Structure 1
Amino acid sequence: MPINVLVVDDSPFFQRRLREMLDECADLNVVGVAANGREAVAMTKNLRPDVITMDYEMPVMDGVSAVRQIMAEQPTPILMFSSLTYEGARITLDALDAGAVDFLTKDFAEASAHAPTLKQTLHDRIMTICARQVRAPVAPARAIQPALLRDRVKLLLLGASTGGPVALSEVLAQLPENFPLPIVLVQHMPENFTRPFAERLDATARVRVREAQDGDILVAGTALLAPGGKQLMLDRLGRVRILPGDERVNYRPSLDITFGSAANAFADQVLAVVLTGMGSDGCEGARLIKQNGGFVWSQDQASCVVDGMPMAVARAGLTDRVLSLSDIGATLAREL
């Protein structure tokens, strides 16, 4: 059966383009179109869609308020549309905190050009966030003695994609102010989103958080967030290198690239944690970390928004420990 989609947008142009793109997908069905958040709340109750696409700036009731009310009254997966501005990024992060699952950037030029790439991206994102897959259990990971981690690990890496903003916030909130390791964060995000995201994390975490800059030195108790649209690498002197994003690489920033550089620079002194996200970014980087004697943890399936990335690592036999999101931060604080 097709997935039923409710489109929420105050722009007649975007209403029409989204409906056209979705109607071209045989496994998607547009059940309704709402022009503001209040209509979206009412139509969600009446139509019970499988997923909602939601604009953030609308009259009567804005997108964030609508997300908050829908998640309280009729929880439904919501995909936000956002502008690439700083303010657009801030509002999108508010929507993710309110319960939206993921977001796509809103580009009038791309939508006007009838770009097949946008249609495919929209289709794939909807299918992923609506998926309810039953997977075979992963073999238990081998136990690692806490003393071994404390004695060896000198760098903590946290990587995420879909669902990551909330997951990273929860993990960092459980770390103490005097956390003894430097932290590098890699979250799939476009340019202009990572600076407000770092500011948000810094306001809620006890460790310091900021967007990484080229030449930064790793410091214990400070988390550096990879800039959107670029790649973050580490050198053997513990310095951060920010490189332009290569169009041939799907993710900018990429867990694989940061993890791989950390494995080369820090050998067996790395602990990488792969959190919620679609795809398999991080798997090859985790392989390099393991080959160099480092450690890899992954978030469990039940607590992921999308379990593609952590499950790829686990199924490759690279995970030392599988943990629920609620346990990751506390375990890091206790054992490191």
Structure 2
Amino acid sequence: MIPSQGRKIRVLIVDDSSFMRMAIRGILSRDPEIEIVGSAADGVEGVQRAIELKPDIITMDVEMPRLDGIAALKQIMVKAPTRVLMVSTLTNEGARATFDALEAGAVDYIPKNVTDSADAQKVFREELLRKVKGAVVSVARTVLPVTARITAPPVARVTKSRFAQHKINYVGIGASTGGPVALQEVLSRIPATFPYGIMVAIHMPKAFTGPYAERLNAKCSLSIKEAADGDVLKPGQVLVAPGGRHTSLVRHGAGVTVKTSPTTDYPKYVYIPSVDLMMTSLAEACSGSMLGVILTGMGNDGFKGMQFLKTKGGITIVQDEATSTIYGMPKSCVEGGVADEILPLTEIGFEIARVAGT
């Protein structure tokens, strides 16, 4: 349930570290819009407190004694469904556990980054507040079954796209909150015979994009990897922009290649990696012969990129409100008049395949 206007956001903190419980409480309790209703030191206690207190959102540690965060999350989604924000370590193991949690129903995650560094503490504080407030207005989604690797082209209800005559050579996809699960759903519907390269930018930290690309590669029929400098965007391949840096695409001979840059090179882009930068540069590199797709996410990253793409003659698809975890990014495109087609999540992958005639 979304808190009514004027009512504070009720938060339950579940973490086996007393330091983290205090840190999270200290950050959230200073905000006049938030109320800490309780805390728990492990998953067993967390499930009990969730049932008793019925919070609006739970911050959930991943690694805990007695019952870990993912097991606790699964029980909560059955016994007292609510929005859960996972607090994850910045490691490959933490990334994999986070993606398991997102598939199990968590609405979002935040990397643990509370160190002696004042900058790191500031980033953690701002991200925690932003994601708690954003998660509360998110759509409580139904947990989708994990899609197995597809060995044959999926069958769609409609066999021909209204964009079938439109020339495209590339696809750019952007997402944020809710994006990891949404992107897997989309890519799993596209067959290995897809004739165009796909570039993805999704807001993730550096340690997460590599494991995420590996996870997608294991679950989809397309070839999927984390992008690196100089990679050529090839037909039937998906490149995932690396976290912690910005990614642009540049024309190189007859093809398009990846260029990654430190965030200091593009200070105007707040979200990392920037969907706007990826989409704009790809549209420029391919002279607009591309399809732009914006999935669920907080904020408006991607709108300017889609706007530029439209001026170049490209075509666009955005996720609809009903299936978006957070409608911010798609909404900005719809309200800005740059969405050619608005589709539910389960139809987007099929439509991408239909555009290419596969």
Fold in common (TM above 0.5): yes
Q: 1:17, 1:111 within 8 Å by CA — same for their partners in 2?
A: no
Alignment-derived partner of residue 335 in structure 1: 355
What is the alpha-carbon distance in structure 2 between the residues aligned to residue 298 and residue 103 of structure 1? 23
Residue of structure 2 equivalent to 1:138: none
Distance 2:116 2:316 in 1: 39
Q: Hey, what does 1:309 align to over in structure 2?
A: 329
Counterpart in the other structure of 1:279: 299
Contact 1:299 1:324 in 2 (8 A): yes
Question: How many Å separate the matches in 2 of 1:181 and 1:44?
Answer: 46
Alignment of 1:125-164 (within 5 A): 125-131=131-137, 145-149=162-166, 152-164=167-179
Shift of the alpha carbon at 1:119? 3.2
Q: Which one of the candidate residues 243, 254, 262 is aligned to 2:261?
A: 243
CA distance in 2, matches of 1:242, 1:21: 33
* Secondary structure in structure 2 of the residue aligned to 1:305: coil
TM-score by length of 2: 0.87
Is 1:110–1:118's contact at 8 Å kept on the other side of the alignment?
no
For 1:287, the aligned partner's letter is: Q
| Alignment partner, residue 269 of structure 1 | 289
2:91 paired residue among 80, 85, 99:
85
| Corresponding residue for residue 139 of structure 1 | none
- Corresponding residue SS for 2:164: helix
> Aligned match of 2:56 in 38, 50, 55?
50
Out of 195, 220, 223, the position equivalent to 1:208 is 223
8 Å contact from structure 1 (residues 298, 323) kept in 2: yes
> Could you say which structure has the higher helix fraction?
1
> 2: CA distance between counterparts of 1:309 and 1:28?
24
Indicate the residue corresponding to 2:114 in structure 1.
Answer: 108
Count of residue pairs brought into register by the alignment:
324
Matching residue's letter, 1:48? K
Residue aligned with 2:93, SS: helix
* Percent identity for Structure 1 against Structure 2: 41
Structure 2: 5+ residue stretches without partners: 1-6, 140-160
1:137 counterpart residue number: none
Summarize the Cα distance change of 1:159–1:85 in structure 2 as closer, same or farther, 3 Å threshold.
same
- In structure 1, C-alpha distance between the alignment counterparts of 2:286 and 2:213, rounded to whole Å: 24
Task: Summarize deviations over 1:46-89 as a string: whole Å, max 9, x none.
Answer: 11100000011100000111112211222211111111111111
Amino acid at match of 2:261: L
Task: In structure 2, give the amino acid aligned to 1:199.
Answer: E
| CA separation of 1:20 and 1:9: change in aligned 2, threshold 3 A | same
Residues 256 and 282, structure 1, Cα contact 8 Å, conserved in 2: yes
2:143 corresponds in structure 1 to none
Q: Does 1:21 align with 2:36?
A: no
Cα 1:112–1:258 change in 2 (3 A) is: closer
Q: Which residue of 1 aligns with 2:145?
A: none
Structure-2 separation of matches of 1:112 and 1:211: 30
Q: Structure 1 regions of 5+ residues with no counterpart? A: 134-143
Cα gap change, 1:92 to 1:123, in 2 (>3 Å)? same
Q: 2:192 aligns with which of 177, 180, 202?
A: 177
Deviation at 1:45, TM superposition (A): 1.0
Asked whether 1:188 is paired with 2:236, we answer no
Does 222-231 or 103-112 show the bigger shift?
A: 103-112
Equivalent residue number for residue 69 of structure 1: 75
C-alpha displacement of 1:335 = 2.8
User: Which moved further from structure 2: 108-117 or 23-32?
Assistant: 108-117
Residues 115 and 332 from structure 1, CA distance in 2 versus in 1: closer, same or farther, beyond 3 angstroms?
closer
Please say if residues 292 and 316 of structure 2, whose CA atoms lie closer than 8 Å, have aligned partners that are also in contact. yes
TM value normalised by structure 1: 0.92
Corresponding position of 1:197: 212
Q: Which whole-Å CA distance do the structure 2 matches of 1:212 and 1:112 have between them?
A: 31
Query: CA offset at residue 193 of structure 1?
Result: 0.5
Aligned to 2:246: 231
The match for 1:217 is 232
Task: For residue 172 of structure 2, give the secondary structure of its aligned residue in structure 1.
Answer: strand
